[in-house]
Amino acid sequence: MESHTVQSEQAATVESQNASPNPKHAQVSKEAAEAAVPRDEVLENFRRMIVLGSPYATGTLPLPPSDFVLFYTTEAGETRSLDLAQASVEQLEQLADACAPATFGRGQQDVLDESYRRAGKMDSSQFTTRIVPERTELLDVVRDELLEGEQSKRLIICELYKLNIYGENAFFKAHIDTPRGTNMFGSLVVIFPTQHEGGNLIFRTDGQEFNFDAAAALKTVTEPSIAYATFFSDIEHEVAVVTTGKRVSLTFNLYFGDIEPGISVSPPTATPASYDAFCGAVEAMLNNDDVFPNGITLAFPMRHVYPVKLSDNREYLSHVHKILKGPDAMVHSVFETLGFQPRVYMFYHMRGFGGQVKFFIRRPLVFPPWASQVEVSEELVREWGGIVVRGSGPDEDRPLGWPRSRPDEEVYWVSPPKIALEKQTFLAYGNQACMGYAYRSLYIVVRIGPAGKRMEFKTWV
Ligand SMILES: O=C(O)CCC(=O)C(=O)O
Ligand SMILES: [Fe+2]
């Protein structure tokens, strides 16, 4: 078998595919040309409907006085306590002294780099708090404001992770939270009302920024309260510089508790409004014989990234449909409800040995440690249930070992494929290295049959 260089799941060049500039595709594009106007309209319509709901929720919440009491042990084995609703400067100094400098994950390694993260941290084994999100309204916030539709009724496991303390000039630059399991979907941060200024939590999605000034929010409340932020862990966030005082926070990891094999989960659905609109648009497309008269394979780049276990395993992506978030859940759910077979795939664009090939598969290509190349063939891709995508290159522009055994499939990107996660440098930074799990950019692919026989094509064969 020939080996080739794989350009990972990158896809920037794939955009040109829809334009089909190659004259060899002329005969293929004849019907495409006929249906060109409605097709573009349909895809544009879909694009407009697949919007990111708010991937974070923030606010303040009053809690009983005892919930502000923190017990912790020092390195010398001494046990101390303080009331974080009225902590003195000295008490906060002592707490900071009992913390270790916070490291963070760069790739699969934990590093200390104070130009990226300057804060103190304490592991959950070293302190106790009475705050149990399941016993407060915090979990309702996660359910009602972060999750949508059916998802909000699912079993959620909330795991206390760390205590962080930020003194003057401390911060944590832009990062995403490292997945600690294939079922982890979110993070919850609780900020105590200790005297401090700055340390805003800043979220960025889709080029938009949201700035949560927890310190200011806490000053507006009369009862002892905490500030909170809950968000999908793959959303970029940072803690801005603390200008005065000490900011103390707790972090929790949020998992779906029901994705283990054997537990049946109703597929996630989205908010009725966006769901109904998108469902209506898909139905209109199916009922219009002039749109995609010969059927179509649609690829939806997902708006979120998802945790996978780093192994070459046939079950590699089988959990993902159970942890889809927001708009991704909506796309999957609408097609599934209508009787189609949406499937989650990875996408590869491989170049090398005289050509290039693009394909979807449901398991990762594993690079042998001794080479930057990987062995894969068309046969293997098909055996794994993959889809070889019609490329932008001519027929001859095909890598060795990739004879065309059957026609490649024309795939339409509903929106441009995402730039590979691995290429976005800030995303290489997690809040702590975690061996074995990583986020991946993934795609929902669905095959739609020709007019009159829309349900005929199965995505998974
Ligand atoms: O302390 C905070 O507000 C959040 C810190 C954070 O983002 C993290 O620990 O991953
Ligand atoms: Fe974080």
- DSSP annotation string for 182-202: TTEEEEEEEE---SEEE--EE
- Give a yes or no: residue 107 inside a domain: yes
The interface predicted TM-score of the complex, written ipTM, equals 0.99
- Give a yes or no: residue 115 inside a domain: yes
Strands 343-351 and 373-375: what pairing? unpaired
CB environment 379-417: b (16+ within 10 A), e (fewer)? eebbeebbbbbbbbbeeeebbebbeeeeebebbbbbeeb
173 in Cβ contact with 238 (< 8 Å): yes
Q: What is the DSSP-derived secondary structure letter of residue 222?
A: S
- Give a yes or no: residue 146 inside a domain: yes
Residue 43 sits in the same domain as residue 181: no
Please tell me the number of the ligand nearest to residue 234's CA.
2
- Give a yes or no: residue 246 inside a domain: yes
Residue 308 sits in the same domain as residue 388: yes
Please name the residue whose Cα sits nearest to atom 1 of ligand 1.
Answer: 249
Residue 418 sits in the same domain as residue 296: yes
For the CA of 119, the nearest atom of ligand 1:
1
Q: What residue numbers bound the domain in which 247 lies?
A: 56-256
- Give a yes or no: residue 362 inside a domain: yes
For the CA of 430, the nearest atom of ligand 1:
10
Ligand 1 binding pocket includes 431 (Cβ within 6 Å): yes
- Give a yes or no: residue 237 inside a domain: yes
Ligand 1 binding pocket includes 238 (Cβ within 6 Å): no
Residue 252 sits in the same domain as residue 325: no
Residue 419 sits in the same domain as residue 305: yes
Ligand 1 binding pocket includes 177 (Cβ within 6 Å): yes
156 in Cβ contact with 255 (< 8 Å): yes
Residue 62 sits in the same domain as residue 192: yes
- Give a yes or no: residue 13 inside a domain: yes
Ligand 1 binding pocket includes 434 (Cβ within 6 Å): no
Tokens standing for residue 110: 């934990």
Please name the residue whose Cα sits nearest to atom 6 of ligand 1.
Answer: 431
| Residue whose C-alpha is closest to residue 35's, from 410, 459, 425 | 410
Looking at 256, 283, 312, the residue that finishes a domain is: 256
pLDDT for 425 equals 40
**pLDDT tens digit at each of 461 positions of the chain:** 333 444 443 332 222 233 333 333 333 344 444 444 567 788 888 888 887 778 899 999 999 999 999 999 998 999 999 999 999 999 999 999 999 998 888 776 788 888 889 999 999 999 999 999 999 999 999 998 888 777 778 889 999 999 999 999 999 999 999 888 889 999 999 999 999 999 999 999 888 899 999 999 999 999 999 999 999 999 999 999 999 999 999 999 999 987 765 555 554 544 556 788 899 999 999 999 988 898 989 999 998 889 888 776 777 888 899 899 888 988 999 999 999 999 999 988 877 666 777 889 888 776 665 555 556 777 778 788 888 887 645 555 666 666 666 677 888 889 877 655 443 444 445 666 666 788 888 999 999 999 999 988 777 65
pLDDT for 439 equals 85
Tokens standing for residue 264: 């049946």
For residue 48, count other CB atoms closer than 10 A to its CB.
11
Number of domains in the chain: 2
> Distance of alpha carbon 337 from its chain centroid, rounded?
23
Residue 222 sits in the same domain as residue 292: no
pLDDT for 424 equals 42
Angle at the Cα of 96 (from 225 to 428), degrees rounded to 5?
85
Ligand 1 binding pocket includes 234 (Cβ within 6 Å): no
435 in Cβ contact with 245 (< 8 Å): no
Residue 243 sits in the same domain as residue 368: no
Q: CATH code at 186?
A: 2.60.120
Looking at 226, 256, 286, the residue that finishes a domain is: 256
227 C-alpha to center of ligand 2: Å?
Answer: 16
Residue spans of alpha helices (H) in 60-183:
89-98, 138-141
- Give a yes or no: residue 461 inside a domain: no
Residue 44 sits in the same domain as residue 73: no
* Strands lying side by side in the sheet with 429-430: 109-111, 104-106, 429-430
For the CA of 251, the nearest atom of ligand 1:
9
Residue 67 sits in the same domain as residue 37: no
Distance CA 426, CA 77 (A): 37
Residue 69 sits in the same domain as residue 196: yes
Looking at 256, 289, 315, the residue that finishes a domain is: 256
Residue 86 sits in the same domain as residue 221: yes
Ligand 1 binding pocket includes 377 (Cβ within 6 Å): no
Q: What is the DSSP-derived secondary structure letter of residue 35?
A: T
| Residue whose C-alpha is closest to residue 168's, from 99, 96, 236 | 96
